[in-house]
Structure 1
Amino acid sequence: MMSQFPVKKKKKQRLRLPSPPAPLAHPVRFPKVVLCLVEKRMGATRKAFLTTLARQRGFLVEDANSDRVTHVVSEGNSGDEVVEWLLKKGSRGIDVLGGCPVLLNTSWFTESMSAGRPAEIEPRHRLQVAAHAETLEARCQVPVYACQRRTLLAHRNQTLTEVLEDGASAEVERVKHSERYQAMKVFTKIFGVGVKTASRWYQEGLRTLADLQAHRAKLSKEQEVGLLHYDDLNTPVERSDAEAISQVVRDAVRQCLPGASVTLAGGFRRGKQTGHDVDLLLTHPTEGQEVGLLKKVISWLDKQGFLLYHSSRRNTFQALEDPELGSNSSASTMDHFERCLSIFCLHFPGGVQIGAGAQKPGGAVTGSGVSSFWKAVRVDLVVTPFSQFPFALLGWTGSKNFERDLRRYSKHEKKMALSNHALYHLEQKTFLTAASEEEISQHLDLEYVPPEERNS
C-alpha cells in the first residue's frame, strides 16, 4: 500500500567553512617584547589602565606565570620584592644573573609609551636584586602540612589574625547575642553535656543553670557533678595546677607499681601556661606490667580524697599482628587505650585562697586543724603499653591541627597509617617500631619538631 503522505525531500547541507579568527583589538608591533605588570603596590585599577595603554601602543602584556614574559615592570618595589612576588605567582623561569626577565621600574614604561616603542634600557631603569633567586624561592616555599612547620605560641602574625577592618563581624555579633546561642553556650560548658542534650533542653524552654535546677532536669551522674562544679571546670587550669596534680598521680603510681612513669601531655607539654584539663600518660618499661595499674591508681586516689568523679574505659586495642588495623585508611585520632576520665579535687593547704574553687562551703579540715582550700580540675589518665608509648605521647601532645596534618602527610606522602598506637606501612604491610618521637619522624622522613613548636 502506497503512503498517502508526500515524501519530503532532504535538504542538502551546506559545507560550513571555519570562520577566520577574530582580529586583535590592537595589532602587536613588538612580538619579542612581552610585558608583565606587577600589581603589588601598583593596585588593580592602575594595572588595568597601564595594560590597556600598553596594548594600544602595540605591546604584548601577559601574566606573571607566562614563560614568554621578557620585561617585568614594577612601581615602588625592590628587585627582591619583585622576584618574590613572581615566585608566589607561579613564575619559575627566573634567571636574575642572566637578566631574564629584566626587572624594570615604571620610568622605562613611561618613556616607552611616550616614544611609542620599547625604550633603551639604562642602568637607572633596572631594579637591583640583592639576594639570590634560589634563596628567595626557598623563602616563598611554605610547607603544605602543619607537621612540617614550626609554630611557636608567640609568632609574628598575631596582629594579622584579628579582624582588620572593624574588629568584629556584625553577623557574628548578632548570633553571639541571640538567646539560643547564650543558652547553648551555658549548657555545653557543663561537664558531660553535648550539643544534642543542650539543644533538647533549649527546646524544652530551659535557658539557664537555675532553670536546670528548678525544673529538676534529668541529669546523668557525670552531668550532676559537672553542674555542681560548673565554675571550677570552666576556669582555666594553671600550669602550677597541672604540675601539682602530676606529682600526686606520680605518688599514687609509685605506691602501686614502682618503676612506672607519669608524663604530662597536651598543651602543657607544648609550653602553654593554661589549659582546660590535664592529660597524663602512664606506662612501665616492662611490657605487660602496666596491666591493672589504672584500677589500683584510681583506688588509691579515691581513698585519699582526690577524686570527685571518675569513669573508666578498658583497653579495646587490637593486636598489632591484626592486618585489619593497619589497612584501615580511616584511622582516626581517637585511640583505644585504657583510660580514666575524672574530676580531680586539688587541695591548696595553708588557708590561702587560690583559684575559683578556693574556700568551698563545707571545706575539709586537715588533721592539724588547718582549713583545706581546693578546686575541681578535669584530669585524663591514660595507660599505654611501653612499645606504643612514643605514638601515644605524639598523639596526646597535639596540637589538633599538627596531628591532623601529620596523619594526612603520612598517608598521602608516605603511604603510611599513623595512629596513637602504631605506624603501619600500607604498601609493605608491616608495622614500623619506634622508641621515641624522633624515630617516628625518621620513619616519615620529617625533621623532628619539638613539642613547644607544634602550636599550629
Structure 2
Amino acid sequence: MYDNPIIYILEARIQRQRLKDMQNSARKRQMSIAEQYSSSVTHIVTEFDNADAVARKLGLESARCLNQRQVVKLQWFADCIRAGCIVPVDEHHKVKSGENNQSVREVAPPVSARIPDYACQRHTPLQHHNTKFTDALEILEKYADLRYDDQDYSRALAFRRASCVLKSLSRPLSRLSEIQNVTHIGSHSQKVIQEILEDGTSEEVEKICADPWFQKMKLFTAIFGIGPARAKEFIAKGWSSIQEVRDGCTSSDWRIQWGLAFHEDLTTPVTRAEADYILGVVRRHVDRVLPGAVMELTGGFRRGKQTGHDVDILIMHPLENKIIGALPRLLQSLQSHDIVLCGRHERSTYHEELLTQNTKLSPRGEAACGQ
C-alpha cells in the first residue's frame, strides 16, 4: 500500500460530467485526486484497455515510463467508492501493457484492398460495424453543410464519402493502418477516426454538439422550406424556438407557411405500416390514371428500415413513354379526393448530356449511401 495514495483519473473516453461526478465522489471520501498528471500520482484510473495507450495519452514513450504507478480500470475506482477508502489493487483491476498483443494486431490485414468508387456499388447493411466513427463524421458533415459556403460543401461531401466507406466495411475498424490505402477517407476524417480509436471520442465533435449555434441551425433547418441562409437570419433575430419563428416570421413563401403550420407532423417519423398504407392509397389512384403501371417503395423502407422521414415511391410502366404526363394526372386525382394537403410537381431536370459529365467534379454527383 502507498503511504499517500494520489489518484489521477485520465479523462479520455470519460464524459466531462461523469468525470466531475467521479472526482467529487472521491473527495467526499477524503481521497486525494490530482487534477493533472504528475510524478506524485500513484494510481491512474482509465477506460483504456492497455497501459501503452495510457502512456501515449500522457505524452510518454511507453508503459515502462509509468514506473511503479498503478494503472487501473474503473472497476477499481468503483470498489474504492463503495468501500469509502483506497482498496488494494487486485489482478483483475490492472490494465496490462499492450506489448504482448502487438504481434496479433499487426497481422490484421487491411479491411479492403479495393473499395468501389460509388456507394451504390457497395454492400452497406443497416446495422454496420463502425457506428462510433460514422456518427462523428456525420456530425462534422452536418456542421459543414449548415455553414453553407462553397468550401464547406466540399468538406461536408468529404465527410460523407468517408462515412459511406466505413459503413460498408465488413468488420469493426481497430487500427488506422487498416484504411491507409483507401482514397475515399481524407486526412481530416482520418484524424477524427484516430482520436476516437485512442480516446473513444472526438474533441472537435464534442465541441460542435455543445455549440448553441449548431443546435439552433439543426432546429430551424428541420422546418420544411427553411435552408441554412434563412436559419441564420432567424438566429440573427435572436430566435431560439419554433414558436418564436411562428410568432415572428412573415414570409409569404408557401413552403415556409406550410412547414411552420405542420412542423410537428412533418418531423414525426413515418412507420413502415404507414408507408405501406400510403403506397396502397397511391396505387389505387395510379391504377385509375395509368393502368398497367408498376409501383415500388424505395429509399429507406426498401433497404429494410422500419421508420423514415418520408415515403419514396417509384412509378414505372412497361410501355415506353407511357409514363409521360402521368404525374400531373395522379396529383389531380389525389387532390380531388382530398388526400393531398399541399401538392406540387416540378419538371424533370434530366437531360442526355448528364450521361457524359464527370460526376466526380459535380457537387451533386456523389451517390448517396445507405443509412
Q: Which residue of 1 aligns with 2:359?
A: 330
Counterparts of 1:215 and 1:158 in 2: how far apart (Å)? 39
How far has the Cα of 1:165 moved from its partner?
7.3
Counterparts of 2:345 and 2:364 in 1: how far apart (Å)? 16
Paired residues for 1:221-236 under 5 Å: 221-236=254-269
Structure 2 counterpart of 1:289, from 296, 312, 322: 322
Counterparts of 1:199 and 1:269 in 2: how far apart (Å)? 35
Give the count of matched residue pairs.
Answer: 221
Structure 1 counterpart of 2:100, from 63, 76, 92: 76
Per-residue CA distance 1:56-100 (angstroms, 9 max, x = gap)? xxxxxxxxxxxxxxxxxx963598x47734x55xxxxxxxxxxxx
Counterparts of 2:106 and 2:218 in 1: how far apart (Å)? 49
How far has the Cα of 1:317 moved from its partner?
2.7
Q: Which residue of 2 aligns with 1:155?
A: 128
How far has the Cα of 1:231 moved from its partner?
0.7
Residue 299 (str. 1) matches residue 332 (str. 2): yes
Counterparts of 2:261 and 2:102 in 1: how far apart (Å)? 63
Q: Which residue of 2 aligns with 1:263?
A: 296
Q: Which residue of 2 aligns with 1:94?
A: none
SS of the residue aligned with 1:307? Answer: coil
Stretches of structure 2 lacking an aligned partner (at least 5 in a row): 1-49, 66-97, 136-195
How far has the Cα of 1:200 moved from its partner?
1.5
CA change 1:175–1:330 in 2 (3 A) is closer
Paired residues for 1:351-366 under 5 Å: none
SS of the residue aligned with 1:269? Answer: coil
Per-residue CA distance 1:329-382 (angstroms, 9 max, x = gap)? 2375869xxxxxxxxxxxxxxxxxxxxxxxxxxxxxxxxxxxxxxxxxxxxxxx
Q: Which residue of 2 aligns with 1:429?
A: none
CA contact (8 A) 2:225 2:255 kept: yes
CA change 1:201–1:219 in 2 (3 A) is farther
CA change 1:307–1:286 in 2 (3 A) is same
Q: Which residue of 1 aligns with 2:232?
A: 199
Q: Which residue of 1 aligns with 2:217?
A: 184
Structure 2 counterpart of 1:141, from 104, 109, 112: 112
Q: Which residue of 1 aligns with 2:69?
A: none
Bigger proportion of residues as strand: 1
Structure 1 counterpart of 2:282, from 214, 229, 249: 249
CA contact (8 A) 2:246 2:260 kept: no
Answer with 1 or 2: which has the greater Rg.
Answer: 1
Q: Which amino acid aligns with 2:347?
A: R
CA contact (8 A) 2:51 2:63 kept: no
Q: Which amino acid aligns with 2:343?
A: H
CA change 1:247–1:210 in 2 (3 A) is same
Q: Which residue of 2 aligns with 1:272?
A: 305
Q: Which amino acid aligns with 1:273?
A: Q
CA contact (8 A) 2:221 2:228 kept: yes
CA contact (8 A) 1:175 1:181 kept: yes
How far has the Cα of 1:147 moved from its partner?
4.8
How far has the Cα of 1:48 moved from its partner?
11
Q: Which amino acid aligns with 2:322?
A: Q
CA contact (8 A) 1:143 1:149 kept: no
CA change 1:189–1:78 in 2 (3 A) is closer
SS of the residue aligned with 2:345? Answer: strand
Counterparts of 2:226 and 2:325 in 1: how far apart (Å)? 30
How far has the Cα of 1:199 moved from its partner?
0.8
Q: Which amino acid aligns with 2:112?
A: Q
Counterparts of 2:344 and 2:207 in 1: how far apart (Å)? 39
Paired residues for 1:7-406 under 5 Å: 45=61, 76-77=100-101, 81=104, 84-85=107-108, 88=110, 140-145=111-116, 146-147=119-120, 149-158=122-131, 172-318=205-351, 320=352, 324-330=353-359, 400-401=368-369
Q: Which amino acid aligns with 2:232?
A: S
Q: What do you get for the CA RMSD once the two structures are aligned?
A: 3.7
Per-residue CA distance 1:421-442 (angstroms, 9 max, x = gap)? xxxxxxxxxxxxxxxxxxxxxx
Q: Which amino acid aligns with 2:350?
A: F
Per-residue CA distance 1:275-324 (angstroms, 9 max, x = gap)? 11111111211011111110111011111111111121113433x4xxx4
Q: Which amino acid aligns with 2:115?
A: V
Q: Which amino acid aligns with 1:260?
A: A
SS of the residue aligned with 2:304? Answer: coil
Counterparts of 2:278 and 2:304 in 1: how far apart (Å)? 17
Higher mean alpha-carbon deviation, 199-208 vs 290-299, is at: 199-208
Counterparts of 1:232 and 1:328 in 2: how far apart (Å)? 39
CA change 1:289–1:267 in 2 (3 A) is same
CA contact (8 A) 2:270 2:310 kept: yes
Counterparts of 1:183 and 1:161 in 2: how far apart (Å)? 22
How far has the Cα of 1:263 moved from its partner?
1.3
Bigger proportion of residues as helix: 2
SS of the residue aligned with 1:311? Answer: coil
Counterparts of 1:46 and 1:181 in 2: how far apart (Å)? 39
Counterparts of 1:173 and 1:230 in 2: how far apart (Å)? 28
